[in-house]
Structure 1
Amino acid sequence: MSTVLAVAVFVVAYVFIATEKIPKMVAALAGAGVVLAFGVTGAEDAFYSHDTGIDWDVIFLLLGMMIIVGVLRRTGVFEFLAIWAAKRAQGSPLRIMVLLVLITAVASAFLDNVTTVLLIAPVTLLVCDRLDIKPTPFLIAEVLASNIGGAATLIGDPPNIIIGSRAGLSFNDFLVNMAPIVVIELVAFVLALRWFFRGSFAVDPARVADVMRLNEREAIRDRGLLVKCGVVLLAVFAGFVGHSVFHIEPSVVALLGAGVLVLISRAEPKDFLAGVEWETLLFFAGLFVMIGALVKTGVIGNLAKLAADATGGNALFAVMLILVVSTLLSGVIDNIPYVATMSPLVLALTQDIPDPGHSEALWWSLALGADFGGNMTAIGASANVVMLGIAARSGSPISFWEFTRKGAQVTLLTVLIAAPYLWLRYFVLG
């Protein structure tokens, strides 16, 4: 009965989120309330369990970075970067999109995807405002690029950290095995931008001329505060990159950075709290509780086990099946609990495959499917949800289906490239 209820609540909430009949925050919190009220999951499971509860690391990472961005916005640096990017691209919307996509993808390989999105989105909104063009295609392209770029390294996407820990794979292992395919995927994505977002690159030449006459240095309003923000951000980024060495979670790093920056900037609460996406944080909380109910009742575990059992010991079939199943499931549920559930099953599967190259390919298949599958729908990855929240607050809302139409196309492209890569590298050349 609990299993049926958990599935039913998730499906109903998902329908409301997809159709946008009610705000997605309301749908997620209502769904969480139902599974809690009927005892499918309890307070211990929802608030304290690492496997079935709210991922507080994600929540507080978001909160900390939102506060930092709120203080940073007061310096005028986003206006500076917006004008700089527009001028370097000669005012061409397509070239601006390519530039921002590349910056986002590279940054996402070394920072959390959500952090990258929080930093790049304000720049994008200002560029589009200056050129009087619709920001929606640019925001969607950037978040898709963040999920692609984040797959390149151990620290680029949370599922990679889980896989690295479970499989004993190092930062260099991820760099050698994942970075090449990510570069290929990124080149293909950039080449396809004109087609994916066709009709989005018309711009008034007069607006371009106005932008080209601007002096980006004049946009900086508080150089002293900018220096303070720069020092704190460098320390935060160093904490992100070295969190496995320092044994400090990224969420703690972000909160410490936010606290220090608020203290030294003497910012008023209304200034830095105004930039916090409270609806996004509450949406995540509700979503984590509903997904936790699916994990607790065994739904996700059973689906993953069925996929593993269907391989029949065939390594290539197992790799392709894990890639496809991971892509599909990570598109509709958050990829963090999925990977956490699937990892023990993949580990067991690797022990039945004698060839070490073939068995390791199972882990790369899981990572690629989980990371690229997050692009499939608007709630497939944390960065997607955050970007939609930013877009809504800026007055340029992105609907669930508007994002998903583009995301599904990009997911299909990336998986079609990833499948032959896995086959060639680990079964033909390996």
Structure 2
Amino acid sequence: MFQKILIANRGEIALRVLRACKELGIQTVVVHSTADADAMHVRLADESVCIGPPPSRDSYLNIHQIVAACEITGADAVHPGYGFLSENAKFADILAAHNITFIGPSGDHIRIMGDKIEAKRTAKRLGIPVVPGSDGAVTEEKEAKRIAAEIGYPVIIKASAGGGGRGMKVAHTEADLEIALQTARSEAGAAFGDDAVYIEKYLEKPRHIEVQVFGDGFGGGVHFGERDCSLQRRHQKVWEEANSPALNAEERSRIGGICAKAIADLGYSGAGTIEFLYENGEFYFIEMNTRLQVEHPVTEAITGIDLVHEQIRVASGGGLSVRQEDIKFTGHAIECRINAEDPRTFTPSPGTITHFHTPGGLGIRVDSGVYSGYKIPPYYDSLIGKLIVHGRNRVECMMRLRRALDEFVVDGIKTTLPLFRDLVGNADIANGDYDIHWLEKYLAKGE
């Protein structure tokens, strides 16, 4: 097991990883920008190192400074959390060159899954169902029209190197295709420095289903069930559930088994999430994230297994603590992402939190690194906390969620709490009857 882990992140995920390390008896080092000097994870860590000014490129994305912090403190491993350098293959390679363990997959696996075209090819080879579309990058309009005609309109054009909705355009007719192709390539080049795009069949009313997988580092793999992340705004997840209200036990077992086998065949090590669009009983691969997900707590709630513990165990060479037959799913869990944003316009709302009170009681968990008097800096992601609720079934979970949202108090800034209080009382949400377009339509109507 590791002696000292450096946590190369900030906010709630840095605190989440820090807690796991403390439980395992591992010394912790956190890095921080000057803007985060008073952050909770900095206060609680055994050691802290300031690595630069507020801009991420000068601090949390500064590989040289993070490696130097490892050498100064004697950290023998790095946990990247999510975002920032968590899916940076170069970072993983540089750490390996300095004999520092990256708590995550190999640089090669990060590269494969970070390239959306190569990821799709790999998924197809591993037996994972994929969305019909181009086999590689599409550069010419003539080729794009041919592929679109073969798979049928509407089609979606996606950036090969990116995500988060950038470089992503839908074409409903051949007339739309030329502009969509040009716009997607332009956005992809500006956002990711790579204008390569590919084409897929556009599904009209899919759900977003993802499967949590783990490779043990020795050619084995397991799955920890699925999460439903269909409630999204601009391709950003807002509300996540486990298990999905859209799947039955047979479908859950089938797609989980496919993913676990694929991860074993790939020789993958650590946590990963294989994401699908799901429509009319069929799953279609869209991407794989080679890191811990923001929404991992809902999986922990229904399995009772600490996924960060498992990450650390696998990275240290200890393999997984469970076999597939040991993983049982109990009850239902929902996570709401609480952001420092206007609940209607979603404009960021940095500032000082004057009062912060989290809900409690059976089945309630809050992951947050903020506190009363904390000043939210304007430089980073607006996520300030996650409310995770678990119940014996979805009905009980929704009841607890409603109560927990009423108890949650954040004063001094605007947050998305009012949005969730609206959603929890909506009939479609109560019935689990929604798809990836539902939330944007709901918001557009101003309900």
TM-score computed with the length of structure 2 as normaliser: 0.29
More strand by share: 2
TM-score by length of 1: 0.30
Ranked by relative contact order (alpha carbons within 8 Å, sequence separation 6 or more), the top structure is 1
